[in-house]
Amino acid sequence: MGDLTQTSLEALLLLVTGDTELWSIIRVSFSTTLKAILLATPVAFLISFILSIARFPGRWFLISLFNTLLGVPTVIVGLLLYLLLSRSGPFGDLRLLFTEPAMILGQILIALPLLVAMGLAAFEGADRRAWETTRTLGAGPVRAMLTLMYEVRFGLAAAGTAAYGRIISEVGCAMMVGGNILNYTRTIPTAIALETSKGEFAQGIALGMVLLLLALGLNFGVSIMQRRGEIY
């Protein structure tokens, strides 16, 4: 017990004193995940919007595909990406493995199914009348989509937040395709895994605190948004 309190205090000290290595890890974590979520969200919401509005053969197949992908462990995503990007793989010439873009790619792949599934739930939860009204009032497909997105904004925000929470705390894929290289691809979760394997718990706990604080904030945000979404 004494060990735990002592390392926690050391952790706080590290955070407060602005330890360069610690803050470099935090910076890498946020820069990759934010880029990934910014790239993934528009694509995912477009897919979920089309899936919710259009009726075409194969629609159910696509929906179940995304629901299945939702359950794929992140290490499988990592493995697949590793094989594709490694020098002996089909995209080896791009030399992306163990770089930031590879990690962002992995995070996009992990976030996408969650964004599509939750986005679809949000769009399907929207009133069918909303779509019909936009169309009958003369809105083109793009404007109608934007209007609908505004109508279900709380659900979409919840989807985005949940997906962000998933990728920022993800360790399997980030470790495999990122390589946990300090100042380049060492993120909060991979650093925690490393610090624990070194037996250096203080930095692990400090990073854990950052992650916990973030998760708390995100979940708080989601529940506020969901509650606001339920008012109407």
Partner 1 sequence: MKSNLFLQSVSPVKTADDLPLLKVRGLTKRYGQKQILDIDKLDLYAGQAVLLSGKNGAGKSTLMKILAGIERYNEGSLYYKEDRNKEDQARHQRFLQFSFLRKKLSLSNGIIYLHQHPFLFDISVRDNLAYGLKCQRMAKKQQAQIVQKALNWSGLEHLADRNAKTLSGGEMQRIALARAWVLDPKLLLLDEPTANMDTESREQTSFLIRRLINQGTGVVICSHETKPDNRLIDRVLHLDNGKLIESSRAELNQTRSPDNETSLPKTRAAIKPCKDLL
Partner 2 sequence: MKHLEHLVYKIIKAIPLTALLCSLLLVGISAHAATLRLATTTSTYNSGLLDYLIPDFEQHQGTQVQVIAVGTGKALRMGQSGDVDLVLVHAPKAEIQFVAQGHGVDRIGIMYNDFVIIGPPSDPAQVKNLKNATEALSRIAASQSLFVSRGDDSGTHKKERSLWKDITRPRESIWYREAGQGMGKVLQISNELDAYTLVDRGTWLAYKNKLNLKLLVEGDKRLHNPYSVIRVNPEKYADLNHKDAMAFSRWLASAEVQQKIAEFKVAGEQLFVPSAD
Interface ranges with partner 1 (CB under 8 A): 53-57, 127, 129-141, 143, 147, 150-151, 232
Q: Which residues contact 127 (CB under 8 A, 6 or more apart)?
A: 151
* Largest Cα–Cα separation, the chain: 68
Q: 31 or 226: whose CB is closer to partner 1?
A: 226
3-class secondary-structure state, position 36: helix
* Residue 12, H or E segment: helix 2-16
Q: How far is the CB of 168 from partner 2 (least distance, A)?
A: 18
Residue 132 site contact among partner 2, partner 1, none (CB < 5 to 8 Å, cut-off depends on kind): partner 1
Q: How far is the CB of 52 from partner 1 (least distance, A)?
A: 10
The Cα 97–Cα 37 span in angstroms is: 20
* CB 37 within 8 Å of CB 164: yes
Residue 140 site contact among partner 2, partner 1, none (CB < 5 to 8 Å, cut-off depends on kind): partner 1
User: For the stretch 2-34, what's the b/e string if a residue is b when 16 or more beta carbons lie within 10 angstroms of its beta carbon?
Assistant: eeeeebbebbeebbeeeeeebeebbebbeebbe
Q: How far is the CB of 97 from partner 2 (least distance, A)?
A: 5
Per CB under 8 A, contacts with partner 2 among 155-214 are: 155, 158, 175, 179-184, 186, 190-191, 194, 196-200
Report phi then psi at 54, rounded to 5: -80, 150
Site string for partner 2, 71-90 (x = CB under 8 A): ---------------xx---
117 contacts partner 2 (rule: CB under 8 A): yes
**Spatial CA neighbour of 204 closest among 214, 195, 212:** 195
Structure tokens that stand for 104 in this block? 């962002």
Per CB under 8 A, contacts with partner 2 among 22-81 are: none
Residue 196 site contact among partner 2, partner 1, none (CB < 5 to 8 Å, cut-off depends on kind): partner 2
97 contacts partner 2 (rule: CB under 8 A): yes
Q: Which residues contact 211 (CB under 8 A, 6 or more apart)?
A: 168, 169, 188, 189, 192
Q: How far is the CB of 135 from partner 1 (least distance, A)?
A: 5
Q: 18 or 140: whose CB is closer to partner 1?
A: 140
Interacting residues with partner 2 (CB under 8 A): 86-87, 95, 97-98, 117-118, 120-122, 124-125, 154-155, 158, 175, 179-184, 186, 190-191, 194, 196-200, 226, 229-230
